[in-house]
Amino acid sequence: MVMPPSDNSDSSKTGRTPEPQELWPRVYTELRALAGAYLRRERPDHTLQPTALVHEAYIRLAEIDRMAFRDEAHFAAAAAGAIRRVLVDHARARNTAKRGGGWQRLTLSGLEGLPAESVIDMLALDEALGRLAKLDERGARVIELRFFGGMTIEATARLLDCGITTVKEKWEFARVWLKRELGGDGI
């Protein structure tokens, strides 16, 4: 999705960090396409639309006054976390309204090697990522950036300030760990 930051990033050209309003137009189309891909795999009566998902993520980012984004990749990484939180909050609200029924389901076709029809519960994924973060924080962050942010291995490595091999190893470990945690056929 988002290319890794280059030496031509906003902060290196001007000496200042770009505002979310400046970065938003640059990543909006990509984030909306990613949100559309998530939601196309949802149940037919799902009420959240791709545009609403991306806008809600942006609102959550804009409410954080203390955030300073270095470049587009940093903004997209923060947006990935915000999108994850919106999806999880939406699933929780639905479960609360239905007293635990009608779990929110999301397809993880963005994870390499998985069948496109592989479907898991968003709340279960969020809980599993929380457990993974306690064991391997970087592995959980790699999953978040690659799945929720749509980032390439190279962009993820650059953002996390580590090597491509490290990201590949964390990606593979985290995928296997999550598959086991989610019952063997979810991830």
Report the pLDDT value the prediction gives residue 130, as an integer from 0 to 100. 93
**In which band, very low, low, confident or very high, does the pLDDT at 16 lie, cut at 50, 70 and 90?**
low
- pTM summary value: 0.61
pLDDT in tens, 51-69: 888 888 888 877 776 667 7
**In which band, very low, low, confident or very high, does the pLDDT at 135 lie, cut at 50, 70 and 90?**
very high
**In which band, very low, low, confident or very high, does the pLDDT at 13 lie, cut at 50, 70 and 90?**
low
Structure tokens at 74: 């940093």
The SS3 call for residue 151 is: coil
Report the pLDDT value the prediction gives residue 14, as an integer from 0 to 100. 56
Q: Are 128 and 182 in contact (CB under 8 A)?
A: yes
Structure tokens at 172: 């593979």
Report the pLDDT value the prediction gives residue 87, as an integer from 0 to 100. 84
Given a cut of 50, whether residue 113 has pLDDT beyond it is: no
Phi/psi of residue 21, each to 5°?
-60, -30
